């Protein structure tokens, strides 16, 4: 049996950690509303896809829009929020993520991440000469940031999206509101 979401659930983690797929499942299980910050940025800035935003305005502009999309969610309830993998790189976003809700870090081993992200080309930060090396560098830089903000960490390397979502839902039912 499902129960309504009382506190917002906020998913953070590297590209390919499964935030959007898992988030949609959690929202369904807990009767919450799924929000994807990437989608929100796209909608709030005229509908251009992320790769186009990066190409036309650059990463810094995207980060500003991402931070303001994040702030716009604070105060909402029953939300399940999947965030972009780089949201933790802006220091002001860390308290905002905590304020928004219960933060879950979805991790996965480097090989698993690489295997997942190399399947699609829609991630502008990986349009480099050596995307495999970029993944390694970004992961090393960002992992401490995800760790610093997380209330709960789940290694998704060997779990299905449903298994990850179920674990989070089980935990949410235990969180006092």
Q: Yes or no: say if 161 and 169 are a contact pair by the CB < 8 Å rule.
A: no
Interacting residue with ligand S3P among 9, 10, 42, 123 (CB under 6 A): 123
Q: Please tell me whether residue 85 binds ligand S3P under the rule CB under 6 A.
A: yes
Q: Residue 41 is encoded by which pair of tokens?
A: 């940025």
When the beta carbons of 6 and 131 are compared against ligand S3P, the nearer one is 131
When the beta carbons of 6 and 124 are compared against ligand S3P, the nearer one is 124
Q: How far is CA 70 from CA 100, 117, 170, in A?
A: 8, 24, 25
Q: How far is CA 109 from CA 10, 37, 162, in A?
A: 21, 24, 19
Q: Please tell me whether residue 80 binds ligand S3P under the rule CB under 6 A.
A: no
Q: Residue 108 is encoded by which pair of tokens?
A: 């996965």
Residue 102 DSSP SS3? strand
Interacting residue with ligand S3P among 9, 12, 15, 25 (CB under 6 A): 15
C-alpha 119/C-alpha 49 separation (Å) is: 18
How many residues touch ligand S3P (CB under 6 A)? 10
To ligand S3P, the closest distance from the beta carbon of 50 in angstroms equals 5
Window contacting ligand S3P (CB under 6 A); options: 2-10, 105-113, 122-130, 145-153: 122-130
């Amino acid at each position: 049996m499902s129960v309504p979401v009382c506190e917002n659930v906020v998913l953070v983690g590297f590209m390919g950690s499964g935030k959007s797929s898992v988030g949609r499942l959690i929202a369904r299980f807990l009767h919450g509303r799924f929000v994807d910050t990437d989608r929100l940025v796209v909608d709030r800035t005229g509908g251009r896809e992320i790769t186009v935003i990066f190409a036309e305005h650059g990463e810094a502009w995207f980060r500003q829009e991402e931070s303001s999309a994040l702030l716009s969610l604070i105060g909402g309830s029953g939300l399940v929020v999947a965030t972009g993998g780089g949201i933790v790189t802006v220091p002001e976003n860390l308290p905002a993520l905590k304020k928004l809700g219960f933060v879950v870090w979805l991790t996965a081993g480097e090989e698993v991440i690489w295997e997942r992200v190399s399947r699609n080309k829609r991630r502008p930060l990986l349009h480099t000469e050596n995307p495999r090396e970029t993944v390694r560098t970004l992961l090393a830089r960002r992992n401490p940031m995800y760790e610093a903000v997380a209330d709960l960490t789940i290694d998704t390397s060997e779990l299905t999206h449903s298994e990850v979502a179920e674990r989070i839902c089980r935990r949410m039912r235990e969180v006092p509101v």
